[in-house]
Amino acid sequence: MSTEGAIVADAEPAGRLAENIVYFARALRAAGIPVGPGAVLDALAALEAAGVGTREDFYWTLHAVFVKRHEHSVLFDQAFRLFFRKRAYLERLMAMMMPQAPARPDRAEPPASQRVQEALFQGLESKREDEKREVEIDARLTISTREVLQRKDFAQMSAAEIAAAKDAISRLVLPLDELKTRRLKPHRHGHVIDLRRTLRSSLKAGGAVIDLHYLGPKTKLPPIVALLDISGSMSQYSRLFLHFLHAVTDARKRVHTFLFGTRLTNVTRALKERDPDEALAACSASVMDWSGGTRIGSSLAAFNRLWARRVLSSDATVLLITDGLERDADATLAFEMDRLHRSCRRLIWLNPLLRFDGFEAKARGIRTMLPHVDEFRPIHNLDSIASLCRALSGEGGAVADPKAWLRRVA
Amino acid sequence: MTDRTTDTAQPLPTSIDATLQLLTGADYVADRPLATVLFLALKMGRPIFLEGEAGVGKTEIAKVLAATLGRRLIRLQCYEGLDVSAAVYEWNYGAQMIAIRLAEAEGVADRESLASDIFSERFLIRRPLLQALEPDVAGPPVLLIDELDRTDEAFEAFLLEVLSDYQVTVPEMGTIKAEHPPIVVITSNRTREVHDALKRRCLYHWVGYPSAERELTIVQAKVPGIGKKLSREIVGFVQALRKEDLFKAPGVAETLDWATALSELDAVALDPATVSDTLGVLLKYQDDIARLDGTKVKALIDEVRAALRAAE
């Protein structure tokens, strides 16, 4: 400790500020805000430029440099409060390095505070972390609205299951569904003359011969948005589908994945990990309602309100993976399904219940949702995953027509 | 696409307070966090990235900056399929064709000189980004890149070069670099996430809905001749509306439109019938309008009145 004290005492005032900013950046990083070394330099330059006088200016100056996303604002706020708490912040920093309990918070803390606090004192906690016993509740084909806040360990996947999933994924033929964009690219049989290339190539011959070059439409893969039900009645399948979605995410740039049971979680970033095991572990870490009850209506409402306009902006294909066993199949569910249907290009409902030969669209939830989907497909084995790939390539099929299922019961 | 203000060039503000004053002087009611970001961006020469819901005054900031600093405003409206020929430069092909034919007619056969002649500045059509890099007598212009989220990733990637080095590469001519970097304002409605690499080069600010107090100041500054009572009720009603579960909450632009509409209708206070008739100015989704029926509107108005009375 004595050497550290000496460093602090000897350093220039500006040097101490720099040191603190570096520590603060590290705390932000631990709290989950991506802060690079460049941002630290920027912060020092900004503080110098602003000539900070008040605490508020100091706050907003650092905010301007470190925060690059709206949702990071609340994390930054908490980290700032904890870190620059008057007099106490240095002691707290030192507490991180000593094996003793962190000081107790003075008052009730807002929700994000817990996360930031955990991040700041992570080194301390991890040593004493206990092995938590997992309680496995088999809630297969039962629906409960009770929220089971339990984190499911992906290590429980049996060897056979993993082999089957990997097998399916390795044989996956990736969809070739392509959308025309409004951009043009050089094209042999295009419809627009590319004057720039034409002129340049004509200069080769001194402008005597003018060879026409053409531009044609450029195509792109449409984005995919997957909404995966992870409630108890789906628990046998959701892991496999996550593997599938990871493979799709890996191969295509624009895939967004959301998990829902009783609440909606965006796991797109977690699935971007290259290694499937790491990606799935990251997923399970971010989900709180694994194998719990299901509220399809309210989850869809949350998606429509918070995410639809951000991820469905350019003609997305939506994969809705759920068994449709919703207890509260009311007007809300129909309304939200309708809104989802109207804001995407294609809505494909994948239902593992279709594995039963005698399946009939009788459950109320299913009857409510069916009129609003474009395709209704089974997904329960490798064959059905393969046929999904074909469906994503743009081929429909009689099995997929949702109206046929409704007629069969009526 | 461009317009020039008549004012002469003003020096950049030297402190956060001066920035705040500058904005207030132009009837833009800003809070201190926004003034801090603007000041830093001007001082450090970095682009400003403004994100927020539609109608909270993001575009207006660029216009006010250009007007108060006496700079030229160059606006690039983004859309899907925006490409280099619409955003940066294009060759004047017609003129080039004629030049080639003339060269033929005059019998100039030197290919080298013809090529360098054809691809020279004479035949270059400058689009907004290139214009912004050129020197201007009134000082570096304000470049507004509006609604960046509407374009695609390819264009974002292209912007990286422009925003980090303030230079553009024209393959036939070489690199054009700005002597004095322009003041860049980028806005996004957040219909999708803009890539981190681009955000990293900017100072980020989330423009939220204003507080009741600030919104009242905005209404009174922007709608001249509006009654004090009416403006307070309007702001109270809109603030209450934002707390409702709506698909699209009204922005400041909608508040101003509504205030103008009501003052044109010679209203002195809110009444349920007028509110229901003019709700289309505030809410733009049929589901939202249907949700606010007569009784709901009346309840909201009563709530606002009670709150105003309590505040007095």
Mean pLDDT of A63-67: 91
* Between B109 and A27, residue with greater pLDDT: A27
The CA distance from B295 to the nearest CA of chain A, in Å, is: 22
Q: Which residue of A has its CA nearest to B99?
A: A207
**A91-143 pLDDT per residue, tens:** 454 444 343 443 444 444 454 555 566 555 554 444 434 333 333 333 333 33
Task: Give the residue extent of every domain in chain B.
Answer: 2-88+127-206, 91-121, 212-304
With a pLDDT cut of 90, the percent of chain A lying above it is 3
Mean pLDDT of B74-88: 89
Q: What dihedral do alpha carbons B237, B243, B248, B253 form, nearest 10°?
A: 40
What's the CATH number of domain B2-88+127-206, 3.40.50.970, 3.40.50.300, 1.10.10.10, 3.30.40.230? 3.40.50.300
Which of the four pLDDT bands, split at 50, 70 and 90, describes residue A171? Answer: low
Which among A56, A206, A305 has the least Cβ separation from residue B109? A206
Helices (H) and strands (E) in chain B, counts: 15, 10
Q: What is the pLDDT of residue A100?
A: 40
- DSSP string over A57-97: HHHHHHHHHH--STTHHHHHHHHHHHHT-TTHHHHHHHHHH
Which among B44, B152, B200 has the least Cβ separation from residue A46? B44
Task: Give the residue extent of every domain in chain A.
Answer: 2-126, 186-220, 224-409
Indicate the SS3 state at residue B189.
coil
Reading the block at residue A373, the tokens are 């989907």
Q: Measured between alpha carbons, how far is A209 from A204 in angstroms, rounded to an integer?
A: 9
The CA distance from A59 to the nearest CA of chain B, in Å, is: 9
Q: Measured between alpha carbons, how far is A176 from A389 in angstroms, rounded to an integer?
A: 9
**A345-379 pLDDT per residue, tens:** 888 888 877 777 677 777 788 888 888 888 887 77
A64–B100 CB contact, under 8 Å: no
The fold of the A224-409 domain, in CATH, is Rossmann fold (3.40.50)
Q: Which residue of B has its CA nearest to A74?
A: B206
User: Tell me, what's the ipTM?
Assistant: 0.75
What's the Cα-to-Cα distance from B222 to each of B6, B69, B257, rounded to whole Å? Answer: 21, 20, 10
Specify the pTM.
Answer: 0.71
Q: Measured between alpha carbons, how far is A289 from A281 in angstroms, rounded to an integer?
A: 15
Q: What is the pLDDT of residue A87?
A: 47
Indicate the SS3 state at residue A348.
strand
